[in-house]
Amino acid sequence: MDNTISQTKFTSYQAFIVAILAILQFTVVLDFMVLSPLGAILMPELKILPSEFGLVVSAYAFSAGASGLLAAGFADKFDRKKLLIFFYTGFVLGTLFCALAPNYELLLAARIVTGLFGGVISSISFAIISDLFAMQLRGRVMGFVQMAFGVSQVLGIPIGLWLANNYGWHSPFMMIVVFSIAIGVVLVIFMKPINEHLKLKSDKNPFLHLWHTISNTNYIKGFFGTVLLATGGFMLMPFSSAFSTNNIKISMDDLPIVYGVTGVFTMIAGPLMGKLSDKIGKYKVFVIGTIISMVMVIIYTQLGVTSLAVVILVNVILFIGITSRIISATALMTAVPNPQDRGAFMSINSSIQQISGGIAAGVAGLIVVQTPSGVLEHFDTLGYVVLVSMIAAAGFMYVVNKMVMAKK
């Protein structure tokens, strides 16, 4: 029996859960996203190629994917609060190792450690959301939780870039560590145990539970949709700062402005798109977001030297489209698993997302070539690859939506 309650408003405790999960997501997203704008600093300072920087990004993704698969069989066997605290502690330690890494090799190792723990946090959060919120509220919940992307751009990335420009590239990671410790204390003290799923019948053997989840035909459809969803963001994001500074000729001083203004609009769009997806349907919002994203990806990847105002406008519209896709798709995906399989499904789904994204980032690093002057070549080719993946994702999410509607 599902323990969600049919309702239209959040209780005070649910509002707290939304807030704490959104802030947790903010720290995890910031840890990942801050690496992208740091690319313009890291590549020359550590004397690494785009392919090597792509490996730093994908190393996190691959380790996150591996840990998600390893944790999947156990994800429904423990109190979700305890699981969240365990993995969040590991994530903070991994980020601390990034802050202390003196060279490329140790930074790569630190990203692997961070990914092992950080990659599972979102899946546990989404399982908690599915446990505590009815389907008609999940779009709004995801809208607020996914505000983490916007907040990370408005506050986190500009502050991170300012710290990196003034105190070195290690400092943004240390900032994340200090903030995360404070949030972890609040989580430990105020979050209640989340263990209702333990009363439901499920496989006692974790490995059998993993196998039954990964081999479920309906779940496989959701996993395929995730593979296609992960491709676009992981391909473009790692090289966006290098493309902006070297090709579009946006200065490093103006780069925080681009991220900040884009983030403000992403923050505003998140809850609105979440509420809209609850009102008119998750898949409809996903399609709208996909169309916007496709148009803007082609425009963005074809840009040459461009004024700051135009770059900001393009980024704002692009990220509104991307945010709409993420919120609606994530809310839709929470309806795929049965209550007793939520933890395992979300862990596997997160793993597939990270592994697919890791492969995409690695492939992007092979497509993009940086000339001696710093200009990135073949970025437009990357745009066409992302376009194809978005079209395919829209088709496959239609199948997932049809399956979810049939369950009602």
Asked whether residue 27 is assigned to any structural domain, the reply reads yes
State pTM to two decimals.
0.74
- Collapse the DSSP code of 369 into the 3-class scheme (helix H, G, I; strand E, B; otherwise coil) and give the result: strand
The answer to whether residues 68 and 347 touch, using CB atoms and an 8 Å cutoff, is yes
Asked whether residue 7 is assigned to any structural domain, the reply reads no
Asked whether residue 6 is assigned to any structural domain, the reply reads no
List pLDDT tens digits, range 85-101.
999 999 999 999 999 98
Asked whether residue 2 is assigned to any structural domain, the reply reads no
Domains identified in the chain, total number: 1
Asked whether residue 124 is assigned to any structural domain, the reply reads yes
List pLDDT tens digits, range 150-176.
677 667 777 777 888 888 888 999 999
The answer, yes or no, to whether residue 5 has pLDDT greater than 60, is: no
Instruction: Provide the domain limits for residue 26.
Output: 15-194+201-407
* Mean pLDDT within 248-258: 85
Task: Tell me the pLDDT band of 308, cut-offs 50, 70 and 90.
Answer: very high
Helices (H) and strands (E) in the chain, counts: 17, 2
Name 377's bridge partners. 369
* Mean pLDDT within 7-28: 86
Asked whether residue 36 is assigned to any structural domain, the reply reads yes
The answer, yes or no, to whether residue 129 has pLDDT greater than 70, is: yes
How far apart (Å, rounded) are the C-alpha atoms in residues 49 and 70?
Answer: 32
DSSP code per residue over 220-233: HHHHHHHHHHHHHH
Give the model's pLDDT for residue 202.
61
Q: How many CB atoms lie within 10 A of CB 216?
A: 18
Asked whether residue 223 is assigned to any structural domain, the reply reads yes
In terms of average pLDDT, the best of 30-34, 222-226, 297-301, 340-344 is 297-301
Query: Could you give the C-alpha distances from 330 to 39, 80, 225, 237, in angstroms and in order?
Result: 28, 19, 11, 19
The mean pLDDT value of the chain amounts to 85
The answer to whether residues 292 and 163 touch, using CB atoms and an 8 Å cutoff, is no
Picking from 185, 190, 210, 180, the residue whose alpha carbon sits closest to that of residue 75 is 210
Asked whether residue 288 is assigned to any structural domain, the reply reads yes
CATH, residue 363 = 1.20.1250.20
- Collapse the DSSP code of 48 into the 3-class scheme (helix H, G, I; strand E, B; otherwise coil) and give the result: coil
What is the distance, to the nearest Å, from the Cα of residue 270 to the centroid of all Cα atoms in its chain?
Answer: 14
How far apart (Å, rounded) are the C-alpha atoms in residues 267 and 152?
Answer: 9
Task: Tell me the pLDDT band of 1, cut-offs 50, 70 and 90.
Answer: very low
* Mean pLDDT within 239-258: 85
